[in-house]
C-alpha cells in the first residue's frame, strides 16, 4: 500500500500551542484572555515523547518522526520544541490569529496531510487543555477509517511491525486492543514522562526543516460550523471559612445534613 520499504515506520505527531497549563485563565469581554504564557499541550508532549521512545526502542525501523501544528505564526515555537525533543521535521499549517478552528476542521487538515505523506502511526494528545474537546484523534480515525487506540497508557509495536497493541485507560480500569497499522493513537497522562529538551538539542532543532502549508493548499476549510456565542466565568465558589477542631467540623457537617 505504501511506497516506502516495508518495516520502516513513519510517525506523525500533531501538536498544539495552548495556554500554559499552570496559568490561571481570565475571562475578559466575553472571551478568554490569551495574552499569557503558552506552551505545548501537555498531552502532545507525551505524544512526541512516545514517538521518540519508539525510535529509541526500534532504531532504524522508525523512518521518520514528523511533527505537525495548525495555528498562527507563533505555533512554530511549539514545533521547535517538538523538534528539540527528537522529531525530525516539522509541518506548519499556518492560520490567522483570529481563526478558531474546531476539531472537525483540524481533523480534516491532518487527514489531508496523512493522505499526502502516508504515515503508519499518528500519535496525538487525547485532548487539548484549552478547548477540552478530546475529539480530534477519533475524528481523524473516522475520516481515514483507520483503527483507533484512544487514551493510551501503553503502546507496543508488535514484532511484525504491522500491528500495535494499545492499552487504554477506560472507566474503571484498562483495556488492551490490537490495531492493524496504519492506526491512530491518542495519549493519556500515564503513557510516559516527557523529557526536557537539552540546550544542544534546542540549537540543533533550529536547523531542522519546517515546511509551511496553508489550509487552502490542502483543500480544507477551517471555518467552524458550531458558532461560539460567548464565554463567561463559571459561578464563583466562595470558601466558607475554617473550623478549629474535629468536633466543630463534625457538628457543621451534621448541621448541613451531609452526614
- Min. distance of Cβ 5 from other proteins in angstroms? 22
Q: x/- binding map, residues 80-109, to other proteins, per CB under 8 A?
A: ----------------------xxx--x--
Residue 36 touching other proteins (CB under 8 A): no
The CA distances from residue 125 to 40, 178, 185, 222, in Å, are 11, 19, 8, 20
5 counts as binding other proteins under rule CB under 8 A: no
For residues 19 and 39, what is the distance between their CA atoms, to the nearest angstrom? 6
Nearer to other proteins, 178 or 198 (CB): 178
Residue 154 found at the interface with other proteins (CB under 8 A): no
How many Å apart are CA 48 and CA 30, to the nearest integer? 34
**Shortest Cβ 78–other proteins spacing (Å):** 18
Number of residues that bind other proteins (CB under 8 A): 84
- Can residue 4 be called a binding residue for other proteins (CB under 8 A)? no
Give all strands (DSSP E) within 56-215, no chain letters.
62-71, 89-94, 121-125, 148-157, 163-170, 173-180, 183-187, 210-213
Choose, by CB under 8 A, the member of 12, 47, 140, 185 that binds other proteins: 140
Residue pair 68/91 in contact by the 8 Å Cβ criterion: yes
The reply on whether position 142 binds other proteins by CB under 8 A is yes
For the chain, how far is it from start to end, CA to CA, in angstroms? Answer: 63
222's grid cell: 477551517
| Three-class DSSP category at 93 | strand
Binding of other proteins by 115 (CB under 8 A): no
Among 39, 76, 89, 153, binds other proteins (CB under 8 A): 153
| Number of residues written out for the chain | 259
Ramachandran class of 229: left when φ > 0, alpha when ψ lies in -120 to 50, beta otherwise? alpha
Residue 129 binding other proteins, by CB under 8 A: yes
In the complex with other proteins, which residue's Cβ is closer, 73 or 217?
A: 217
Q: Which of residues 174-193 bind other proteins (CB under 8 A)?
A: 174-180, 183, 188-190
Amino acid at each position: 500500500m505504501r511506497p516506502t520499504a516495508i518495516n520502516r515506520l513513519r510517525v506523525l505527531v500533531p501538536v498544539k500551542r495552548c495556554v500554559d497549563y499552570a496559568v490561571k485563565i481570565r475571562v475578559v469581554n466575553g472571551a478568554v484572555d490569551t495574552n499569557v504564557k503558552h506552551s505545548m499541550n501537555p498531552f502532545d508532549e507525551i505524544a512526541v515523547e512516545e514517538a521518540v521512545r519508539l525510535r529509541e526502542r526500534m532504531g532504524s525501523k522508525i523512518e521518520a518522526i514528523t511533527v505537525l501544528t495548525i495555528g498562527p505564526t507563533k505555533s512554530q515555537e511549539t514545533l521547535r520544541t517538538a523538534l528539540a525533543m527528537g522529531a525530525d521535521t516539522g509541518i506548519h499549517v499556518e492560520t490567522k490569529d483570529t481563526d478558531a478552528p474546531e476539531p472537525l476542521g483540524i481533523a480534516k487538515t491532518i487527514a489531508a496531510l496523512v493522505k499526502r505523506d502516508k504515515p503508519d502511526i499518528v500519535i496525538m494528545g487525547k485532548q487539548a487543555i484549552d478547548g477540552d474537546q478530546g475529539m480530534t484523534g477519533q475524528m481523524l480515525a473516522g475520516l481515514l477509517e483507520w483503527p483507533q487506540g484512544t487514551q493510551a497508557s501503553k503502546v507496543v509495536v508488535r514484532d511484525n511491525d504491522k500491528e500495535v497493541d494499545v492499552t487504554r485507560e477506560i472507566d474503571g480500569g484498562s483495556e488492551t486492543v490490537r490495531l492493524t497499522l496504519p492506526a491512530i493513537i491518542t495519549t493519556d497522562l500515564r503513557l510516559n514522562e516527557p523529557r526536557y529538551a537539552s540546550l544542544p538539542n534546542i540549537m540543533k532543532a533550529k536547523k531542522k526543516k519546517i515546511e509551511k502549508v496553508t489550509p487552502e493548499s490542502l483543500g480544507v476549510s477551517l471555518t467552524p460550523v458550531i458558532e461560539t456565542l460567548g464565554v463567561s466565568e463559571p459561578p464563583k465558589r466562595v470558601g466558607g471559612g475554617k473550623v478549629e477542631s474535629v468536633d466543630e467540623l463534625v457538628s457543621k457537617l451534621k448541621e448541613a445534613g451531609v452526614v
